[in-house]
Structure 1
Amino acid sequence: MIGDPDKPLGFVRVVDVSGDRVRLAFSFPREVAINRRELAEEKKTGKPPPAPTP
């Protein structure tokens, strides 16, 4: 749960765990923007993040 327990902003649930991978489900009102960190940084700076090094 994200936010006040009496008035939660939204929920994050673990849907599946398989090896070292975890699937999550997000339940938030449509007006709440949800971005992965790299997308949020791209929106903030206006340019894509550097490619990961192998």
Structure 2
Amino acid sequence: GCDLPVVELSLRYHRPIRLGTEAIVRTRLAETVGVRINWDFDILPPLNQRL
């Protein structure tokens, strides 16, 4: 395995997710600059459901 430190984090809240709610988390590599790796995340409801 490989541990990566989190050195910066920013969030934009649209609506809360309650404990026990299922969600789909999509992760993608945004860019790599030197030793910095930037990731993008989307948190989505399961198909045909709302968060």
Name the TM-score class by shorter chain: 0.3 to 0.5
TM-score by length of 2: 0.38
TM-score by length of 1: 0.36
* Structure possessing the higher radius of gyration over alpha carbons: 1
Higher relative contact order (CA 8 A, sep 6+): 2
